[in-house]
Structure 1
Amino acid sequence: MKIIPYKDTYDPGLLQPVPRAPHRRELGIAESLPFTGVDLWTAYELSWLDPSGRPRVAMATFVVDARSPNLVESKSFKLYLNSFNQTELASPESLRQRLIADIGNACGMPVDVELKLPGAFGDERIEELDGELLDDIDAEIRDYRPNPALLRTGRSETDETLVSNLLKTNCPLTGQPDWASIQVRYRGPRIDRAGLLRYLVSFRRHGGFHEQCVEHIFMDILGRCAPERLTVYARYTRRGGLDINPFRTNCGEKPPRNVRTARQ
């Protein structure tokens, strides 16, 4: 059995930036983005030492602007957070400022960081994504690689929010499954719901980072269905004490509150 050492003293060099531009070029996204948005990260396993050597714990929310040139590879993010385990810090605010500096440096753009200390843990809520559920539609599904041809529209116009809990993608580095609930809110030609469900399930064997998969879905729906307004938001279940929740919109919609779903 191979033992992988974990560093438990502060090391920002563990963070591994991944440029967004190459994958966006594959999707036909030019330098001017067709959306705004954020990546909401939640860290559930964060600990450090106070000046007396006592362990402290917290949860953290990170807000990364979609305009940042880089995302951060999630395992490297976890290893970086673990590097605080035996690191002495003067205060929670000292930790927060260090997180802001390091992650902002890795992403290439300032980020927002909020710490939730144990006294506020009881305020944590669970909410499911709002919208009409697609998952019980009686549809035969045979495509398990992204297939935008499954997306179809009718002649009527609508304004609706649709949700599925059946999105599965896979880590491009390890092949491990990534599970998510996804919300599609749009105004425009009515999207065939069975086709949308088939399309979302077609990502089941696809490898991509969470942020890339949501942008892939956004661009396919935008290109195939031509909605006037479109928002795509996914909440991925946590792995390694982290969940990642990308949000993309072309209508100026404000990012949602970072409230976890039951599966997270």
Structure 2
Amino acid sequence: MSTPEHSPLGKTTVYADRYDPSLLFPIPRQAKRDEIGVSAPLPFHGVDIWNAYELSWLDARGKPRVALAEFRVPATSPNIIESKSFKLYLNGFAQERIDDAQRLAATLHRDLSAAAGAEIEVLLSEASAKAHAVIDLEGESVDALDIAIDDYGPPRADYLRADANDIVDEALVSDLLRSNCPVTGQPDWGSVQIRYRGPRIDREGLLRYLVSFRNHNEFHEQCVERIFVDVIRHCAPQQLSVYARYTRRGGLDINPFRASAEAAPGNPRGARQ
């Protein structure tokens, strides 16, 4: 049964260093989508961008190789892949001899696509600072607002409101997003960008809403979908995208993107990533 309680999370684990695709642990998305009233057809487009910073293998002559990996999991995939199982799977390549990076990428694509139930894009690149420069999320930060806050969860969508008489096209950003792993309780830290066109969203209400995730237990992907749905319902934007960039854990960061229109987001590495 693919539920978080049956995953490797929160359990003592032997870290294998040989290839084993059975380590991947898929978790169906729909149960959490049911909680926020999301069913097919989905009210959003999107992708989950995973970055792996601890990928290594042996070449045909036994010399270690390293690379950075980017994985794009479509929001339409029936499953997410539990992050610790993803880490264990990637670690399994450490002592595997693989002829070249192309063959490794093909193996990753095959195994991850099977686990997610959809085609996963895989991109391997050199560990170059020039190719992976730190870039801020575009938009106006709401974090400096001079307000008192004493509500840290559960998420309060009623904080969200918008002025129907003031139509704008803007992006708002916060670095104060925090939620918790629903299995281990470990904190997940992130930055979030809300780009929209429509009634002007009240900044104070938005900041209070985002902070109300602080003690909330939910996976990254589920938090972003909750934010998207809540903003749509309470602020009625004509167009909306929500992009969260979470800090890495175990050599992986997860960056969900949801939008009202099809879009291919960039992969801007943040200062905390």
Instruction: Give the shorter-chain TM-score range.
Output: over 0.9
TM-score, with length taken from structure 2: 0.93
* Aligned with residue 99 of structure 2, among 71, 82, 90: 90
Shift in Å, 1:52:
1.2
2:206 aligned residue: 196
* Aligned with residue 134 of structure 1, among 142, 152, 173: 142
Residue 220 of structure 1: SS of its match in structure 2?
A: helix
Q: Where does 1:3-42 land on structure 2 (aligned, <5 Å)?
A: 4-42=13-51
For residues 6 and 17 of structure 1, the distance between their equivalents in structure 2, rounded to whole angstroms, comes to: 19
Name the aligned partner's letter for residue 244 of structure 1. I
2:4 aligned residue: none
Which segments of 5 or more consecutive residues in structure 2 lack a partner in the other structure? 1-10
For residues 95 and 12 of structure 2, the distance between their equivalents in structure 1, rounded to whole angstroms, comes to: 20
2:264 aligned residue: 255
Residue 105 of structure 1: SS of its match in structure 2?
A: helix
For residues 4 and 248 of structure 1, the distance between their equivalents in structure 2, rounded to whole angstroms, comes to: 33
For residues 152 and 132 of structure 2, the distance between their equivalents in structure 1, rounded to whole angstroms, comes to: 35
Name the aligned partner's letter for residue 198 of structure 1. R
* Aligned with residue 210 of structure 1, among 220, 236, 249: 220
1:50 aligned residue: 59
For residues 259 and 141 of structure 1, the distance between their equivalents in structure 2, rounded to whole angstroms, comes to: 30
Check the 8 A contact 1:247/1:255 in 2, yes or no.
Answer: no
Shift in Å, 1:142:
1.5
Check the 8 A contact 2:78/2:118 in 1, yes or no.
Answer: yes
TM-score, with length taken from structure 1: 0.96
For residues 58 and 159 of structure 1, the distance between their equivalents in structure 2, rounded to whole angstroms, comes to: 38
2:118 aligned residue: 109
Shift in Å, 1:255:
2.3
Identity %: 56
Deviation readout 1:70-106 (Å, 9 max, x if unpaired): 0111111000000111111111111100000000000
Name the aligned partner's letter for residue 51 of structure 2. T
Deviation readout 1:38-70 (Å, 9 max, x if unpaired): 000000000011111111111000011100000
Check the 8 A contact 2:56/2:93 in 1, yes or no.
Answer: yes
Q: Work out the number of aligned pairs and report it.
A: 261
For residues 107 and 90 of structure 2, the distance between their equivalents in structure 1, rounded to whole angstroms, comes to: 11
For residues 229 and 174 of structure 1, the distance between their equivalents in structure 2, rounded to whole angstroms, comes to: 35
For residues 4 and 101 of structure 1, the distance between their equivalents in structure 2, rounded to whole angstroms, comes to: 25
Give the direction of change, closer, same or farther, for the CA distance of 1:121–1:51 in structure 2 (3 Å limit).
Answer: farther
For residues 3 and 158 of structure 1, the distance between their equivalents in structure 2, rounded to whole angstroms, comes to: 51
For residues 132 and 240 of structure 2, the distance between their equivalents in structure 1, rounded to whole angstroms, comes to: 29
Shift in Å, 1:31:
1.2
Name the aligned partner's letter for residue 214 of structure 1. V
Q: Where does 1:139-178 land on structure 2 (aligned, <5 Å)?
A: 139-145=147-153, 146-154=155-163, 155-178=165-188
Residue 110 of structure 1: SS of its match in structure 2?
A: coil
For residues 143 and 13 of structure 1, the distance between their equivalents in structure 2, rounded to whole angstroms, comes to: 42
For residues 84 and 129 of structure 1, the distance between their equivalents in structure 2, rounded to whole angstroms, comes to: 33
List 4+ stretches of structure 1 deviating above 4 A: none
